[in-house]
Chain A
């Protein structure tokens, strides 16, 4: 465990708390893509299936439980509690275009052709692109509530912080995980446009608005 990794994980935790806070205080899930949230549940369940057969640490155990539980809770909030505030007509990204390629890629590029290993690889590829329905929705509406942009910034920061973490581990532990690194770079890259607007507008006190 190094500082980058820890800050990354904390940023990930923060993003989830921000999202739940946004939904509960505004009593609305407006501006949040249900599809992206559903993809995250898929990602966590597929990856953390190893809770059943691999013990790493107490930290690791509780984080995994938290990510699965909180993502399911968010789906519940969106699907039942605040259902009327979700507008499916602007959340129209075709998730099969993400799930399909993630399945195919994980069957081809993996470390070992074993069921749980392929599930892990699938979850890595799927996570890399899971934010796309959310970003697509943002692009479509052209604006976002400030709190929603904080959620996305924390989520992007989590991924960005994993990169120095890998560099650090390369030098100190002599390990490289090409699958995680390539997928992680792609995932972080997807946030670049968003970060640009976030830093130049939201952090300057302006509303998040995309040029027409």
Chain B
């Protein structure tokens, strides 16, 4: 999986 921040969350 991509270890990317999910910045679309609140």
Q: Contact at B4–A60, with CB atoms within 8 Å?
A: no
Proximity bits, A157-168, B CB within 8 Å = 1, else 0: 000001001000
Interchain CB contact (< 8 A) of A67 among B4, B8, B10: B10
Number of residues in A with C-beta < 8 Å to the partner? 24
Proximity bits, B1-10, A CB within 8 Å = 1, else 0: 1111111111
Residues of A within 8 Å of B2, CB to CB, are: 174-176
Q: Contact at A64–B10, with CB atoms within 8 Å?
A: yes
Main secondary structure of the interface of B (DSSP, over half): loop
Residues of B within 8 Å of A178, CB to CB, are: 3
Residues of B within 8 Å of A12, CB to CB, are: 10
Main secondary structure of the interface of A (DSSP, over half): helix
| A17-25, A49-57, A86-94, A197-205: which lies at the interface | A49-57
- Cβ of A180 < 8 Å from any Cβ of B? yes
Q: Contact at B9–A50, with CB atoms within 8 Å?
A: no
Task: Tell me, in angstroms, the Cα distance from A12 to B9 when the chains sit together.
Answer: 13
Distance in angstroms from B9 CB to nearest chain A CB is 7
Q: Contact at B8–A56, with CB atoms within 8 Å?
A: yes
- Cβ of A96 < 8 Å from any Cβ of B? no
Interchain CB contact (< 8 A) of B5 among A57, A111, A162: A111
Q: List 22 A-B contacts (CB under 8 A).
A: A5-B9, A12-B10, A56-B7, A56-B8, A60-B8, A60-B10, A64-B10, A120-B5, A165-B9, A169-B6, A170-B1, A174-B2, A175-B2, A175-B6, A176-B1, A176-B2, A177-B3, A177-B5, A177-B9, A178-B3, A180-B6, A180-B9
Q: Give the interface of A toward B (CB within 8 A).
A: 5, 9, 12, 50, 54, 56-57, 60, 63-64, 67, 111, 120, 162, 165, 169-170, 174-180
